[in-house]
A and B are shown apart, each in its own frame.
Chain A
Amino acid sequence: MTDKKPVVDFATDWDHTDPRWVEDPYPIWQDLRERCPVAHTERYGGGWFPTTHDVVSAIANDTEHFTSRLVVVTNNKYPEGAPPAPIGGAPPITSDPPFHAIARRLLLPAFAPGPINALEPQIRALCRKHLDELNGESFIDAASQYAQYIPPGVIAHMLGFPAEDGEIFRDFVHVVLDLIDLSPEDRAPLFVPMAEYFDQQIADHVAHPRDDLTSYLLNVEVAGAKLSPEHVRGTMVLILIAGIDTTWSAIGASLWHLATHPEDLGRLVNEPDLMPLAIEEFLRFYAPVTMARLVKDDMEFAGCPMKKDDWILLGFPAANRDPAAFDAADTFVIDRALNRHAAFGLGIHRCVGSNLARLELRVAIEEFIARYAKFELDSSKVVTWAQGQVRGPRHLPLRILG
């Protein structure tokens, strides 16, 4: 990664791990939207980055021309051992129709609002515990000391993994989502500890079945047959990876906003009824997740000569800043009433954990501002942002003012 060629023009050579993109992608996307609006790159074996809501939505809804076989852009379009389309390595996110609907149907009931809303007291207690552990210090890191603890705790509970394994999960997330620009040879061995961990958890659940998602996946039957071991493991990996980094990023980015916009913090503290609208605006403005697709066959799409197996990096966060889709798209409006954002994706791959993510985000913000009504960035330290397809602060040094 160190000898990487710097990007000169993102329109013809985009790279979502470029330091400028990682630091502040929004001006880059705005420029691309006006000039392209679908940017191209030869990096990662070739790919496209659409920046308008129209094109993002069209691709997200077009499973005929685009496959979800791989959803994370890396230097390897043909990883060894990954089941082919329509199943993919982590069903249902990597699945295409018609298999997708079967795999998704298995997960939806566990993530529907009923069972998810029942987790609220537990999530609130988790948030309070981590706020208590900050010991009333005046200088804290709201990303590494608070936000990053909330989703792993909830996901460990749902999968029936040890609650104290949060640190291990964060390592897995780092490998899958951050260390993407390695050669396939350097990247493959990094997955071994994760495979071993899942083997261990599966063996434990086979020996001691219990009421959690892991036992459910091991025992559920589709058309009279249990799921294949690859399917079970792939879905568990999906839930773990997709359930952690994403929400932790959303919580962190929202707290970053409040630390840098005291007027919005003041309104949220004094007008708690604003919370539902504020949450949707946090999700629109700081949507953390960008998802990949692959082009199925050579074709022209949105005026672009796409080739089979070109990457598509679906910029849902860029779609959310498209002035053709939102009034004052680049302005954060805490009480925005019309907000048809695409933070959880569009079409059949809508984030299966969206109800959980919203709940965690709301409770984490509510509890944080109940504890700290005034805070700002700690100007002596630096905020750092995650690189890759999930954007959020990894370090968010704050100074507590009240």
Chain B
Amino acid sequence: MRVSIDTEICQGQGRCFSIAPSIFDFDELGNGVVIGDGTLNEETLSLARLAQSNCPEHAIFIEE
């Protein structure tokens, strides 16, 4: 299971790294970035899903 951010869609709304700072960080422009390779376990999956369902731009994708 992996999470990714589509950088073409992300507008830096900032919800993901506030909700799930263990999974997401921000770059120097304030856009969201995935920490590491985005691999999720059972525990982090639900947190990633929560961030995904709060992203106003629908820029977060989870591959299960």
Which residue numbers of A lie inside 8 Å of B, CB to CB?
105, 108-109, 111-114, 276, 280, 337-342, 344, 346-348, 350, 354-355, 358
User: Is B28 a contact of A109 with CB atoms below 8 Å?
Assistant: yes
User: Is A112 a contact of B56 with CB atoms below 8 Å?
Assistant: no
B 1-33 binary contact with A (CB < 8 Å = 1; else 0) = 000000000011111011100000011111000
Q: Which of B15, B29, B54, B56 contacts A109 (CB under 8 A)?
A: B29
Residues of B within 8 A of A350 (CB): 11-13, 57
User: Is A355 a contact of B14 with CB atoms below 8 Å?
Assistant: yes
B18-62: which have CB < 8 Å to A? 18-19, 26-30, 50, 53-57
- In Å, the complex CA distance between A354 and B28 comes to 15
Residues of B within 8 A of A337 (CB): 50
User: Is A111 a contact of B30 with CB atoms below 8 Å?
Assistant: yes
Residues of A within 8 A of B12 (CB): 108, 112, 350, 354
- In Å, the complex CA distance between A280 and B26 comes to 19
User: Is B30 a contact of A113 with CB atoms below 8 Å?
Assistant: yes
Residues of A within 8 A of B55 (CB): 340
Which residue numbers of B lie inside 8 Å of A, CB to CB?
11-15, 17-19, 26-30, 50, 53-57
Shortest CB-to-CB span from B32 to chain A, Å, is 10
- In Å, the complex CA distance between A338 and B46 comes to 13
- In Å, the complex CA distance between A109 and B31 comes to 10
Residues of A within 8 A of B19 (CB): 276
Residues of B within 8 A of A112 (CB): 12, 26-30
Listed A/B pairs (21) with beta-carbon separation below 8 Å: A108-B12, A109-B28, A109-B29, A112-B12, A112-B28, A114-B26, A276-B18, A280-B15, A338-B53, A338-B54, A340-B53, A340-B55, A342-B56, A344-B56, A346-B56, A347-B57, A350-B11, A350-B13, A354-B13, A354-B14, A355-B14
Shortest CB-to-CB span from A354 to chain B, Å, is 6
User: Is B54 a contact of A339 with CB atoms below 8 Å?
Assistant: yes
Shortest CB-to-CB span from A346 to chain B, Å, is 6
Q: Which of A280, A338, A347, A355 contacts B30 (CB under 8 A)?
A: A355
Residues of A within 8 A of B18 (CB): 276
User: Is A340 a contact of B26 with CB atoms below 8 Å?
Assistant: no
Q: In the complex, which of the residues B15, B17, B28, B30 has the most CB atoms of chain A within 10 Å of its own CB atom? A: B30
Residues of B within 8 A of A111 (CB): 30
Residues of B within 8 A of A358 (CB): 14
- In Å, the complex CA distance between A338 and B19 comes to 11
Residues of A within 8 A of B28 (CB): 108-109, 112, 114
Shortest CB-to-CB span from A202 to chain B, Å, is 26
